[in-house]
Amino acid sequence: MAVASDKPNPAGKIQAGPEQVLYAKILEKGMYFGLLALIITFAVYVFRILKPYTPMRDLPKYWSMGVNDYLNATGIHAGWSWMGMLRYGDFLNFIPIAVLASVTLVCFASIVPLLWRQNDKVYAILAVGEVIILTVAASGILGTGGH
Q: Does residue 4 register a pLDDT over 70?
A: no
H runs (alpha helix) in 14-141: 18-46, 59-62, 67-74, 89-92, 94-117, 121-139
Q: Round to whole Å and give the CA distance between 58 and 53.
A: 10
High-pLDDT (> 90) share of the chain, %: 80
Task: State residue 125's pLDDT score.
Answer: 98
Question: Average pLDDT of 17-27?
Answer: 97
Task: State residue 14's pLDDT score.
Answer: 86
The radius of gyration of the chain from alpha carbons, rounded to an integer in Å, stands at 21
Task: Check residues 5 and 80 and name the one with the higher pLDDT.
Answer: 80
Average pLDDT of the chain is 91
* Rounded to 5°, angle at Cα 10 from 9 and 12: 70
The residues spanned by each domain of the chain are 18-139
The residues near 120 (Cβ < 8 Å, ≥ 6 apart) are: 2, 19
Question: Average pLDDT of 82-93?
Answer: 96
Task: State residue 142's pLDDT score.
Answer: 80
Q: Round to whole Å and give the CA distance between 61 and 68.
A: 14
Task: State residue 45's pLDDT score.
Answer: 96
